[in-house]
Amino acid sequence: MRSLVAFCLPGTQQMVQLILSSNEDDIYELVFDSLKQSIRSIASVKAVRQQIHDLLVLRSDYSLYITTFEGVDMDIDIEIQSNTTLSSPTDISMCSYEGMSITPTAVKPRIVAIKDCVVSNVTFELESGESIRASLNLMPSDPLVGSMKVVLASNLKHDHFPKIWRHFLQLWNRKRYTCLPDVQFDCLAEAILANWGMGWLSTEKPLVGAPSSPWTDMLQSSQHFRLQDDSIFASITPPTPSPPLLPVFRELSKSEQNSLHVLLSALHILGEELRLINVTEHESLLRLSTLTVRLAQTIRPGFFDLLKRTYPGSSSGWRTGEILGLSGFG
């Protein structure tokens, strides 16, 4: 067992961090980890992980961040609607992430202290003496996304998982933290593939920019509308339309390919569990299969052929594109 213990010293605006660990003999040891300056207030909050508390920190410049995933810091931004009457306390249902507000118009009062933390809810004391109550619950509600999160955390290297989950939170924030399972899954699938320079075909809408052809242009023309019932066209078989192009932005290094092989195997095992054990999760299995098929298409062509036969609807309308240029996220 290993836990982070933190103490805030408001008088000197310092934060002392200690590591609490236990050995096989259940002997606990508390050792010094670090001393951070310019810290006003801290709180333990369930924000990003279901079973583990994260550290919410208020800096001296009145900005907030959450320390999670083995010391990764994620900036957050609390904003209040301009028509909100600040009595003590005021409830705010959600916070924004990475400086992206989810409120249409906002004022920006200074937060000077964090207090009364209960699970994901905290009270922020403002410079004016008023208080607001906010929820910092940034955990997706879709069970499939939750299971995939466990797979990612358990099988990926330390540097991959925090980047993917940070990107997922950014994408999910743009969807206003919707509870729709398809949207949450699309956000995570897009974040996973972007980490390795690949694009995602959303389940919400078709891929923008799919190439057209003279045949499809003709089918959409006014002449086709006028003549479509003419008997001369009855024997003409239209060509099979080209499936949309899924972008591949860059070549993968050997290390990246190895990481994808590990991830593909882990996600496939999750899919087999849904298929053979949790038979009621058929819809989740179909969503997950679109991602495993996409990964296999890139790195394991033989396995891709097997998955296409197992999930024939998961790759219909797909084709892998040529490398389009460097992209992804840092």
pLDDT at 234: 66
Q: Which of 106-115, 218-227, 241-250, 261-270 is least confident?
A: 241-250
Q: Which of 15-29, 42-56, 85-99, 183-197 is least confident?
A: 85-99
**Sign of the alpha-carbon dihedral angle for 197, 203, 207, 208:** negative
Between 200 and 185, the higher pLDDT residue: 185
Tell me the average pLDDT across 245-265: 80
* Pair of tokens at residue 135: 């929820």
* Pair of tokens at residue 254: 């050997």
Between 137 and 215, the higher pLDDT residue: 137
3-state secondary structure of 100: strand
* pLDDT range class, residue 93, cuts 50, 70, 90: very low
Residue-wise pLDDT tens digits, 268-318: 999 999 888 877 788 899 899 989 988 888 888 888 888 888 877 666 544
* pLDDT range class, residue 248, cuts 50, 70, 90: low
Residue-wise pLDDT tens digits, 153-188: 889 877 788 889 888 988 988 888 888 999 999 999
Distances (CA, A) of 2 to 158, 188, 200: 16, 28, 37
Name which of 249, 244, 208 is nearest 319 in CA terms: 244
Q: What is the largest CA-CA distance in the chain?
A: 88
Distances (CA, A) of 112 to 64, 65, 106, 223: 10, 14, 18, 68
pLDDT at 230: 66
* Pair of tokens at residue 295: 């990964």
How many whole angstroms separate alpha carbon 137 and alpha carbon 53?
Answer: 11
HSE-up (13 A, CA, CB side) for residue 128: 11
DSSP string computed for 192-243: HHHHTTB----SSSPPTT----HHHHHHTSHHHHHHTT-GGGTTPPPPPPPP
Q: Is the pLDDT of residue 39 over 70?
A: yes
Q: 66 pairs with which residues across the strands? A: 56, 74
Q: Is the pLDDT of residue 252 over 50?
A: yes
* Pair of tokens at residue 309: 């036969």
Beta strands 121-126 and 111-118 are antiparallel
pLDDT at 327: 36
Name which of 141, 139, 143, 157 is nearest 273 in CA terms: 143
pLDDT at 94: 44
pLDDT at 8: 94
* Pair of tokens at residue 94: 């959600």
Q: Which of 27-31, 91-95, 313-317 is least confident?
A: 91-95
pLDDT at 229: 61
- pTM, 2 dp: 0.67
Beta strands 319-323 and 245-248 are parallel
Q: What percent of the chain stands above pLDDT 70?
A: 70
pLDDT at 306: 84
Tell me the average pLDDT across 51-60: 91
pLDDT at 222: 60
What is the chain's mean pLDDT, rounded? Answer: 77
pLDDT at 158: 73
Residue-wise pLDDT tens digits, 209-234: 445 567 666 766 666 655 666 666 66
Q: Which of 77-86, 108-117, 210-219 is least confident?
A: 77-86
How many whole angstroms separate alpha carbon 15 and alpha carbon 201?
Answer: 44
pLDDT at 100: 37
Provide the strand spans (E) within the chain. Answer: 2-9, 14-22, 28-37, 39-45, 54-59, 64-68, 72-77, 80-81, 90-92, 96-97, 106-107, 111-118, 121-126, 131-135, 245-248, 319-323
How many whole angstroms separate alpha carbon 3 and alpha carbon 44?
Answer: 12
Q: Which of 24-33, 55-64, 94-103, 198-207 is least confident?
A: 94-103
